Structure 1
Amino acid sequence: MRPISSRLSMILGCLLLAVSLPLVAAEKVYRLKLAETWPPNYPILGDTTKNLAAIVEKMSNGRLIIRIDSKNKHKAPLGIFDMVKAGQYDIGHSASYYWKGKDPNALFFTTMPFGMTTPEQYGWFYYGGGLELMEKVYARHGMLSFPGGNTGNQMGGWFRKEIKSLDDLQGLKMRIPGFAGEVFARLGASPTNIPAGELYTSLERNTIDALEWVGPALDLRMGFHKIAPYYYTGWHEPAAELHFLINKKSWDKLPSDLQEILRVAMRSVAYDMYAQSYHENSESWSKIRTEFPDIKVKSFTGEVLDAMQKANMELLAERAAKDPLAKEIIDSQATYLEKARAWTSISDKAYLNSLDD
């Protein structure tokens, strides 16, 4: 056994060595669970959540880790709102207009028929008061919502039969969510919402007569053209923005620097999804033109479009009359659209028109 003096010397030596070394405390790692509406490895939409997880992990030097559960894991593709609100998941990735049954004002933050284009809508979100209005809606439910990626202007859908008049919409069973579904219902159709993984079989089994999904990049992969050859141009979703839905308690537990990292990462991947969507749609549209001659690309007739616009305006007026917050959102979007569209017309539209001269 060593003498006490020897052991004390050894202990003192260790203490002196410890004091001389820099103190490095192990930094806490925060782990968040994210539920997405999409199937596993779903292109573009699912790429966005993977990009988010990768970016926040790298930017935080491993202090913020996001685990992603696709719909095959949580089994509730249209249940994201409830799961995030209850704290079962910290983050959700979905589309705000899916939650009109939970809060009717949620549908305004994806896109609106005959509304803003993607650049116009991003301007409204980030600089025109859109984010603040979205916060008002989701604060009631103990959640935050942030833009989560835009598909750009969506196509009007796949139809088994040509839509020549309003009569052709009567009783038409169509997968079309959001405010556009309400417009179709007013015109006599029967709108419904169906998760992505069930769309093809629903169309194949005549559960629905028509559907809209996104655009060429995702639609061709789904094979809708094999059943419904009429492909209509868009009117209903000129700027379909997905969203990240975050449980407020989960957000508040994050240090301020990680909140900012997450905020910046969400904004980055949202815009990246728009760029990716534009690229992929361009590639797939080229394929439609050269490889799929049986797809009949159509636009709705003036009669049908006029009726859609009339129904849309009536529904907006009714919604605004019933709910002060809905009126605030509708007025904000209309005011911003008027100013932004004037610039769009004299810039992008004028440029494109000049190429046709």
Structure 2
Amino acid sequence: MLKLTFARKLIAAAACAAAVIAPAHAAEKTYRLKLAETWPTNFGTFSVPAREMADLAEKMSNGRLKIEIDTANKHKSAFGVFDMVRAGQYDMGHSASYYWKGKVPNTLYFTTMPFGMTATEQYGWFYYGGGMELMQKVYEPFGLMSVPGGNTGVQMGGWFRKEITSVDDLKGLKMRIPGFAGEVLAKLGASPTNIAPGELYTSLERGTIDALEWVGPSMDLRMGFHKIAPFYYTGWHEPATELQFLINKKKFESLPEDLQQILLTAMKVSAYDMTINSHHVSAENWVTMKTEFPNVQVKDFPPEVVAALKKANDELLSEAAAADPLAKEILDSQASYLKQSRVWTDIGERAYLNSMAEE
């Protein structure tokens, strides 16, 4: 059973109250859905959204909507969630959109983009700047719906066995890094790869890879990467990593309208809760890391390296936009929203933080 925080208890109480004032549904049909996760069992923050969503949906529907969750340990296909939900083997999934870039390249833009939007900016784009409509345009041909499923915030740049002092150090580097950032590193001579979450530690330990990025303090310490790779770099590649709920569209449309809305609301609430929980746990774990693991060396990439990454990123964005009209539409929309939104971020949050730093 999901352990409820005070905030979640308030949400659950409201859901129970809604059920009490709508008793007419008590004798109605129960709808059962199955959800597949990319994550293994008990996988920290990433394991929370699907369970919270299922718990809220059941309570708000007065028990009419029940969702069974299978982790990757059970279905044995961490990167098969897209295909399983599309085929109807599962009704829903919880994963990350950029994992499907090999199948549908335009899916990768809906997780995060290097040097792109922060979590607040990206949520604004999704819900008020046309992002949701563009995401559905990508997933619609496959009989799928995609809904934001929780954000990690800014991710760390990764764990490295050796210090990165120049662009040359990236050449031949075997690194676990998904999404568009992997393409950026490949352009600079690295060898990016994607590895299922449950295999990351072993791959780093055995030297299959030289470096990896995962999330940040909210998830990384429990994985034990600091025992192998002492250099921990700050981020550039995933400023707002949004997970996703995948839904089989035909199955969703078969639900009564009220249950459709309940399901969407439960997903939105659980995504928001993961986002704030990620910040909270990262803050806690950062203190733990600095006190219990003082040998971890936190580094910024040298300016020369960041400039090369940014240049490669801009070139790849231009190539992607030129090659595909839908990619161009998505990238133009993101760039336009970022340009507008970042002005306020600078005037608001950056100015505030800068003023605090000057005290």
Fold shared by both chains (TM-score > 0.5) = yes
Which runs of 5 or more residues in structure 2 are unaligned? 1-23
**Cα displacement (A) at 1:25:** 8.3
Change (3 A) 1:188 1:254: same
Q: Give the secondary structure class of the aligned counterpart of 1:123.
A: helix
Deviations 1:228-255 (A, max 9, x none): 0000000000000000000111111101
Give the Cα–Cα distance (whole angstroms) in 1 for the partners of residues 230 and 213 of structure 2: 13
Per-residue deviation, residues 143-181 of structure 1 (Å, max 9, x unmatched) = 000000000100000000000001111100000000000
Matches within 5 A, 1:161-200: 161-200=162-201
Q: Report the number of matched residues.
A: 335
Could you tell me how far apart the structure 2 residues matched to 1:200 and 1:135 are? Answer: 34
Structure 2 residue identity aligned to 1:94:
S
Instruction: Work out the CA distance in 2 between the residues paired with 1:36 and 1:195.
Output: 12
Per-residue CA deviation, residues 125-146 of structure 1 (Å, 9 max, x unaligned), is: 0000000000000001110000
Q: Secondary structure at the match of 1:144?
A: strand
Residues 1:338 and 2:339 aligned together: yes
Is 2:21 the partner of 1:27? no
TM-superposition CA deviations, 1:101-138 (whole Å, max 9, x none): 11100000000000000000000000000000000000
SS in 1 for 2:247: strand
Corresponding position of 1:125: 126
Aligned residue in 2 for 1:15: none
The residue type equivalent to 2:159 in the other structure is W
Give percent identity, aligned residues only: 69
List aligned pairs for 1:108-119, cutoff 5 A: 108-119=109-120
Q: Distance between the aligned counterparts of 2:255 and 2:286, measured in 1?
A: 43
Counterpart CA distance in 1 for 2:25 and 2:252 is 26
CA 1:356–1:93: 2 relative to 1, 3 Å:
same
Cα-to-partner distance string for 1:256-314 (whole Å, 9 max, x where unaligned): 00000001111100010001100000000011221111000001011100000000011
User: SS at 2:165's partner residue?
Assistant: coil
Letter in 2 for 1:266: M
Q: 2:152 matched to which residue of 1?
A: 151
Q: Map 1:237-316; keep pairs closer than 5 Å.
A: 237-316=238-317
User: How far 1:217 sits from its partner (Å)?
Assistant: 1.8
Structure 2 distance, partners of 1:355, 1:50, is 38
Q: The residue matched to 1:94 in structure 2 has which SS?
A: strand
In structure 2, what residue type is equivalent to 1:334? A
- For residue 26 of structure 1, report the CA deviation from its aligned partner: 3.0
Matching of residue 92 in structure 1 with residue 93 in structure 2: yes
Q: Which has the larger radius of gyration?
A: 1
* Shift in CA distance, 173/59, structure 1 to aligned 2, threshold 3 Å: same
Q: Determine helix, strand or coil for the equivalent of 1:44.
A: helix
Is residue 68 of structure 2 the alignment partner of residue 67 of structure 1? yes
For 1:168 and 1:317, locate their aligned partners in 2 and report how far apart those are by CA, in whole Å.
26
CA deviation after TM superposition for structure 1 residue 42, in Å:
1.4
Corresponding residue for 2:6? none
Amino acid of the structure 2 residue aligned with 1:121: Q
Q: Aligned partners of 2:348 and 2:168: how far apart in 1?
A: 38
2:41 pairs with 1:40: yes
* 2:231 counterpart residue number: 230
